[in-house]
Amino acid sequence: MPTPISTPMLLACADEAALAQGLAAALGWPWALIDQHGFPDGETRLRLPPQLPARVVLLRGLQDPNAKFTPLLLAAAGVRELGAQHLTLVSPYLAYMRQDLAFTPGEVVSQRHIGRLLASAFDAVVTVDPHLHRVATMDEVVPGRRGIALTAAELLGGHVAQQVPGALLLAPDEEAGQWVKRAAQAHGLDHAVCHKTRHGDRDVDVVLPLPAGVVAGRAVVLLDDVASTGRTLAAAARGVLAAGATSVDVAVTHALFVGDALAQVQAAGVRTVWSSDCVPHASNAVSVVPLLAAALRRL
C-alpha cells in the first residue's frame, strides 16, 4: 500500500541507518535511504524516492562536513523538486558552528555563512549541543527559519549516575560548564569546571578547579559536548588522576575522535568512554532518539 501523502517521511544516508530506523520507529513514520554513488572525480550522484509527501525530514550529521555538505544541499533541492513543501534538517552534529566571529582581519565567519545556506535550503534545522559561543539561539544561526538546539546533557548525566553513582561531573573547560551543570543538577551529582588554555589545535593546558583537593578520593567523569583530537580530555584526565581521583571516565555528546584521539584519551588513564549516538561510534551508549522525536513532534 502506498504511503499516504499526509504522512511525513524520514530520509537518511546509509551510514546513519541505525539512528534513522530508531527515529522513524519512535515517530511511526516511513523512512528511506538516499542512494549515493561517488564518481572518480569526487562528484556525487543521488537518487531519492520518486514520490515524497508534503513534509520530509532529512537526517544528516555533518561530521566530515566538507565531504557531506554539497550532497546535503543537492538532496534538499531534489526533495523540493519531488514535491516536499516543508523540509526539516535533523543534523545531530552540526559543523562550522564555533567560528562566529572574525578574530583577525579577513577571517571568514563560517557559522554565519553556513547558517544562511541552511536557511536557504530548509524550513527548520534541529541539532544537538551545537558548539555556540556568542550566539544565544539556533534561530539566529538560520535567519528567518526555525532553529532548535537540543541537549544530550541530561541523558548523559543519567547514564553516568547509573554507571558511577556519586560521581563528580567535571567540565574539562569553561565552555563545557553549561552542559555539566545541567547534567549534574538533573541527577543530583556534584560538579566542577576546569580552566583550559589552548596553544594550538593539539596543544592545551588544563588547570583543575579550586580547591585542588576537590577531586581527591572521588570517581570523576569528564563531560563535554565534543571529543575531536582528545587532547583536552587527556590533559584533564592526567590532572585529576595526579590530584588523587580514584578513577576517571568520559561522557561526551559528539564522539568524533579524529585520528589517534581515542588512544590518547585511553593512554591518559580514562577507564571508559560513553557517548551519545549523535555520531556513530563504538562508544555509543546513550540514544538521542527520544530528544529528536519529541522535537519533530513539536514541529
CA dist 269 → 42, 169, 250, 281 (Å): 40, 16, 11, 20
**Which residue type occupies 259?**
G
Provide the mean pLDDT of the chain: 92
In this predicted structure, the answer to whether residue 4 has a pLDDT above a threshold of 60 is no
Q: At what angle do helices 153-163 and 177-187 cross, to 10 degrees?
A: 60
- Three-class DSSP category at 154: helix
Q: What is the pLDDT of residues 130-147, one digit of tens each?
A: 988 778 789 999 999 999
- Binned at pLDDT 50, 70 and 90, residue 237 comes out as very high
The CATH code that applies to domain 9-150+287-298 is 3.40.50.2020
In this predicted structure, the answer to whether residue 212 has a pLDDT above a threshold of 90 is no
C-alpha cell at 113: 555563512
Same fold, 9-150+287-298 and 153-277: yes
Q: What is the pTM of this model?
A: 0.92
The rounded percent of the chain whose pLDDT value lies above 70 is 93
C-alpha cell at 19: 539512528
pLDDT score at 64: 94
Q: What is the pLDDT of residues 90-139, one digit of tens each?
A: 999 999 998 888 888 999 999 999 999 999 999 999 999 998 877 878 99
Catalytic residue among 60, 159, 182, 196: 196
- Is 181 an active-site residue? no
C-alpha cell at 46: 543521488
Residue-range domain boundaries for the chain: 9-150+287-298, 153-277
In this predicted structure, the answer to whether residue 200 has a pLDDT above a threshold of 70 is no
Q: List, in order, residues 6 or more apart from 49 with CB less than 8 Å away.
A: 9, 11, 32, 82
The CATH code that applies to domain 153-277 is 3.40.50.2020
- Binned at pLDDT 50, 70 and 90, residue 166 comes out as very high
- Binned at pLDDT 50, 70 and 90, residue 202 comes out as low
